Amino acid sequence: MTPAEALREKLAVAVFPDDLFGENCYLIRRRDTTSALVVDPGLQVERVLGRVRQDGLTVERILVTHGHIDHVGGVPQVHRETGAPIAMHPDDLAILDWERFGQMPFVPSGFTPFSIDTRLAHGTALSFQDMSLRVLHTPGHTQGSVCFLFGLDCFAGDTLFQRGIGRTDLPGGDTQKIIFSIRNVLYHLPPKTVVYPGHGPSTTIEEEMLLNPFVPSDR
């Protein structure tokens, strides 16, 4: 077993899509302890916290792939209830401001803005007990979009989807940048890497390099 496969054996990933946006919140937990991470809690936050309480989990960190409301709508609640620090790339702070001042669509009334405890950058390593995960800065869908890489598992937010890519028509979006990020960062991951996207089913780097109609591989 390779180190990456051994790492995967230790993790269990549960996905919680919300009903309005189909946004995937991921609850990543260790099989050998009660430690957990929450990726992108949105409108389904109550269901995610229900699972956390039911299973007696300790949320060690809230990981945010980008600042869009479907991915951060539940962040304040998870932070309040668990005390877990919030990790996000600071280049999306502008989006949180636009959401706060009513300049972005779909923001529910009563959304309380939050501050970042851990400011992420490309290559940041975050610990999860005796494991480490790596931050990949992949701007394009938003300026501060990141992916979280755990061995051969990649939590990709709205950068790469199964046969799709994130939209770039919202403020901060940039089509050239998202294509560059996918080609030069994500497509350089091992082909077996599983991609857990912000919407829709999971896929692999290999499948997308072969079949993604928006970003064909040039290799």
Binding site for Zn ion (CB under 5 A): 68, 70, 158, 198
157 burial (CB, 10 Å; 0-12 / 13-18 / 19+) is buried
Question: Based on CB atoms, which residue is closest to Zn ion, 151 or 166?
Answer: 166
User: How crowded is residue 124: how many other Cβ atoms within 10 Å of its Cβ?
Assistant: 17
Work out how close the CB of 151 gets to Zn ion at its nearest, in angstroms, rounded to a whole number. Answer: 24
- 128 forms beta bridges with 131
Distance CA 144, CA 163 (A): 22
Distance CA 114, CA 116 (A): 7
Mode of pairing for the β-strands spanning 24-30 and 35-39: antiparallel
Residue 102 carries which side chain, given as an amino acid letter? G
Work out how close the CB of 190 gets to Zn ion at its nearest, in angstroms, rounded to a whole number. Answer: 25
Question: Based on CB atoms, which residue is closest to Zn ion, 10 or 180?
Answer: 180
Question: Based on CB atoms, which residue is closest to Zn ion, 152 or 186?
Answer: 186
Work out how close the CB of 42 gets to Zn ion at its nearest, in angstroms, rounded to a whole number. Answer: 8
Work out how close the CB of 40 gets to Zn ion at its nearest, in angstroms, rounded to a whole number. Answer: 8
Work out how close the CB of 122 gets to Zn ion at its nearest, in angstroms, rounded to a whole number. Answer: 19
Tokens of 99: 């959401």
Question: Based on CB atoms, which residue is closest to Zn ion, 17 or 85?
Answer: 17
Question: Based on CB atoms, which residue is closest to Zn ion, 70 or 153?
Answer: 70
Residue nearest to Zn ion (CB): 68
Mode of pairing for the β-strands spanning 125-128 and 131-137: antiparallel
